[in-house]
Chain A
Amino acid sequence: MKTASKLEKILSQGHFVVSGEVGPPKHANAEEIIEHTVMLKDYVDALNLTDNQTAIVRLSSIAAGVHVLQAGGEPIIQMTTRDRNRIALQSDLLGAYSLGIKNVLCLSGDHQSFGNHPAAKNVYDVDSLQLIKIVKDLRDEKRFSCGEELKSNEPRFFIGAAANPFADPFEFRVIRLEKKINAGADFIQTQAIFDMDRFERFMAMVRERDLHKKAHIIAGVMPIKSARAARYMQKSVAGMIVPEAIINRIEQASDPKAEGVAICVEQIKHLKTIEGVAGVHIMAVMWEDIIPTIVREAGLYPRPQL
């Protein structure tokens, strides 16, 4: 064990993990975060807290992570390199760890042009791979990115990274994943999977390179409420592939929500059979209360107790 992370412990014991996601609110009250944590903590092993996702200002992921922690959950704070330079990133890593957070997911973040502050200046002093290396060097080399030694109490994060098998160039995606693992990623959460064939091809390349033995690969799924939502993701969300067959199924269903859950459960059951997939990350955006149903129906309840 590299860290005191519960997520690392569950993964290292070989359990098929389940993580969920909570988007912090656009205000300064944590009630929703606490409610979601209480509702989900027995159904997921960890909860991601997004970092100003789609570049819209929200309650900070670190603060949200502390609320999750206090409500009995295991937070994974997302950290993007869009808004902070290497000084602020390292400072926030020290601060987050001092508050009890043990997991961080390193991202470049959505471009500010998608959000509600398109006139903002982006930072991108470092990219997501370089951030992974920064977090790893703080932990394992006990030094800051400038090379200066961190004399004591280094932050010991369990380091996460994202992989998107649906972005291009496809054949480079596994190589970039390997770069992330070499930089220090301990676990990977993928973009939401709808095109299972492409994901299978991706995982075959992952296994060829033994990457699933070097990092825990958690597959992303996303339950869809309606055909319109599916269509929106197909057309308007960057880096996603939503096959027509999935949209047709939801369109033709008498109860689209139930069909969305059924598809998600089928996907999870299938993902469980793919060698090298260490768990699922359920991104139920604006539909967090469906997670318990999905986890139960996928046969992933109860969760392992530590």
Chain B
Amino acid sequence: MIIAESKPLAEIAALIKNARKILLVGCGGCVSVCLAGGEKETGILASELRMLRQVEGNPLETIEVTLTRQCDPEYVEMLANHLTEDIDCIVSLACGVGVQFLAERYQKWVVPALNTKFAGGTVEHGVWEERCGLCGECILYKTGGICPIIRCSKSILNGPCGGSQNGKCEINPDTPCAWQLIYDRLQALDKLDLLLELEPLKDWSQSRDGGPRKVVREDVKLD
């Protein structure tokens, strides 16, 4: 899933400082699972902002709606009923995708309440880690299911580099060396021969370097 975390309250407050009435939009997708932008977090943020403005003597009116997903026009459309003229600003608690889908659909100023971090998963309650670099051309079948693109700090494809010591990456003693993990796993599965051949240059045009990407499935298109 997409992992996000809340921007500091002061930063969000500054983004809406000229608004008198705002619409806070939560998302029931990934950011709900990672406890950053679901219904509960939307309610908490709304009351925090109201209290802050109350203290400042500049009351803020809030409306809160949580959509099933903000990355889907079908659900984004459901916001139309809530968007009255007097709403000055929309605060989206979705990832960057949701923020943009709202901005594309509605003629209102939309600001993000979250920082979108990465594609990852829950490793323990309250801890999420990055796992996928979204490079567009998966090589996990060569590396024992461990991604060097995103888990190696240099994204090297022929590792481990000379900075790998005692299983850790040179950048931080808490960061495991991805290539040590790959080595250990391939050794355990008796597939170390996969590391003998030089991995050729990667085609980064499949990654973000090729501009915004699009997936089209003709078989499921409606028209």
Contacts and interface: CB of A to CB of B under 8 A. Distances in A.
A179 B192 CA distance: 14
Contacts of B164: 167-169, 239
Contacts of B198: 129-130, 133, 179, 182-183
Interface in B136-179: 153-167, 170-171, 177
B161 A168 contact: no
Interface stretch (A45-53, A56-64, A118-126, A149-157): A118-126
B80 interface: no
Contact of B163 (A122, A145, A167): A167
A175 B165 contact: no
Contacts, number: 91
Given A111-B171, A175-B195, A239-B165, A169 B183 contact: yes
A64 to B, nearest CB: 22
Contact of B155 (A124, A145, A182): A124
Interface in A123-145: 124-130, 133-134, 145
B209 to A, nearest CB: 9
Interface string A147-176: 000000000000000111011110010011
A122 B150 CA distance: 13
A163 B162 CA distance: 7
Classify chain B: how many residues form its interface, as a range: 20 to 34
Contact of B180 (A128, A168, A182): A168
B170 A111 contact: yes
A100 to B, nearest CB: 28
B106 interface: no
B188 interface: no
B196 interface: yes
Contacts of B126: none
B109 interface: no
B127 interface: no
A19 interface: no
B204 interface: yes
B200 interface: yes
A179 B154 contact: no
B201 interface: yes
B169 to A, nearest CB: 8
Contact of A86 (B156, B195, B196, B201): B201
B180 A108 contact: no
Contacts of B177: 168
